[in-house]
Structure 1
Amino acid sequence: MTHAPAAAGDARDHALPPARDGAIRLLLVEDDDGDALLVREHLDDAGLVVDLTWVRSLDEALERLDVDCVLLDLGLPDAMGIGALERLLDAGAPAVVVLTGLADADAGIQAVAAGAQDYLVKGEVDGGLLGRSVRYAVQRRRLEATDRELYRSLVRAEETTRLERALLPTPAVRDGGLEVLVGYRAGREGLLGGDFYDVVERADGTVLALVGDVCGHGPDEAALGATLRTAWRTLVLAGVPVQDILGLLERVLAFERARPEVFTTATMLVVAPDRTSADLYQAGHPAPILLGPPSTLLPTQRRGRALGIPVSGGWEPERLELGSSWRVLLYTDGLLEATVRGGPERLGKAGLLAVVDDALAAELARAGGGLDDEGPGGVVARVLHAVRELHGGDLVDDAAAVLLGWGA
């Protein structure tokens, strides 16, 4: 099927016709009528099934590059030589086979080096040679595209792994008597978001735990979350006074965020060396849960603003007298925002408390039955799994959780 070139000033639609099943969409860029006719005859002789569009100039060709292969003459009214090929490739052309009357070996080498799949001389071409050249060019181009996509996938996987290490670190706690469980579930797209956590023990035995959530979704938010998590661990290990950490973390946020409206919520728990008390710092974040049963929300009377919000006020600690046996769960709002059984109802605080108590009951039943531990994550993993089951699949938002416990 051959389409005549548009005449000067022709206002017809430049969209290419749809290809027939199995046909190669071929664009011929040739200003000579006789040569164009000869190309069509060669394609017929080759038995190649093509949908052929013919244009006379490079400018016309640049508007019609949604094809599988381009046959390009290097002597056109508006472009000559390798420059014509380079313009075509720069515009995003697919496989290009140069078909020219210039029997110049050096020109052929230059054309292939510039990105052409093949270089054919018109007077030396027959149907078989042209057909093979087009088929091979299309196949090589497809393989190149597959290789590029595979490479991109590998790069994305490596980037995700680096983000995972930055967002989801191994807790740095030496005290074997302190229970530390962590968990994370990516949102619906399966990609890391801006939720992050960390747990670090200082030299004096104080243990600090952090859970945070950068507003928004996407790679910028994930990168910012990784930066904030790393900055927090650095501040903790450097011995910065606890009351200064969130303020300094906010300064890092202000410098690193992509847009001034981006903010971060966070909860920081500072457990005393004797493990009987803790200070709770809340920066616009959901209240942690004191595990029961019955489980309850920890007090929020001293709840401060989110990091990055331009209003007055700082972060004052809420002193918690925990006693000799306790467990505290910190989490991000991806758990609260999960819907229930596909309906509009959100799980919310009451629903999450019920899920936590169910997980504790299951843990007790396993212990009573002499069963082995649930494995990595324990209660945290059970809570995350139960919320996902109630939601009916992957959560819309990311969800991170950290459990600290003592004497339980």
Structure 2
Amino acid sequence: MDLSGASSGIPENANQNCVGPQSTEAGKVSACAGCPNQSACASGAGRTEDPALKQVTDRLAQVRHKILVLSGKGGVGKSTFACQLAFTLAAKGKQVGLLDLDICGPSVPRMLGLTGQEVHQSSTGWSPVYVSDLLGVMSIGFMLPGQDDAVIWRGPRKNGLIRQFLTDVDWGQLDYLVIDTPPGTSDEHISIVQYLKGCAADGAVVVTTPQEVAMADVRKELSFCSKTGIRVLGLVENMAASSLPLTELTFQDGAEDRTEEVFAVLRQVAPQLLDLKVSFNPFPAFGEGPQGMAQKFGVPFLGKVPLDPNLLKACEAGGSFLSLYPNSTAARPLGLIVEKLVNTVELAELVQNAEKKKVEPTDGSMDIQQDVQT
């Protein structure tokens, strides 16, 4: 599929971190220094309404809930959470779309068992690739010639594809659209926020691990959400302290595997010890940890997902973790997090609908008011 025509409204000769001519900061921020368009952008000449904004709004008009999945740091499990969130929502009978906007690191096709699939175009736009009748997916990973091909694009071209994904994919009616984003707070994030501003997106889930090297970047992500008006639906701590049955451990003596020997001794001397679980904390929390960080920023803390080898296995197999390993260590915590998220989003929808009914009285109530005045 030819992606060369992707356009984001950002000039082709713009600097790499261009904020876009539509931004109120156009021509004024450090990224604009030396750009040939700086003077024009600073004057506001390019600050016209981007027609893509209405196109995105029209395209997503039949999507009830739109949830961004963010993280300031790569490798914390953001895409894993996005995929398992989509699987779990679909298992609840929801019609779900998963949009992979991590242009340079599209891992979603593998995590959903869709490697090798291709995108097809119809008269109504690009058709998602379907895992099941309830779960459709779109990713640049479906458009690359090979699985190992790198996407070596500058910002404007990446932003152009983001625009195309938001305007050209024919999702139909959805209960949830889960949007997996790149790590960090790049110009791609600015484009995503700008394009979704007219769509009443529900907000974002921010994923982190407990160590400070990840939390430092997530603080920047939370600050980004605050400055751009994105509602944070909650913070998720991934790869938290966990436990495993003793029988799932292996025992090494140098390069020699002595697992069976250890278990044979335990079965003979103390068989009751084989029922024990071993606790481990791979990433000890720094300071107050993610929960304290959530409290500091005034955002909900959705919970902790323990580090669980079976979650990795589910992702490698391209399947639903809760379906494949319902009794695994992280299954219940992950299920509860999704439940909290659904309750938050759908309760807000009920409140919003109730407020609309108050503001817009029925014809009968209007007649009553007129009768009283008469």
Q: Answer yes or no: same fold by TM over 0.5.
A: no
> What is the TM-score when the length of structure 2 is the normalising length?
0.30
Report which of the two has the higher share of helix. Answer: 2
Highest relative contact order (Cα 8 Å, sep 6+), 1 or 2?
2
Given the two structures, how large is their TM-score scaled by the length of structure 1? 0.28
- Which structure has the greater CA radius of gyration? 1
More strand by share: 1
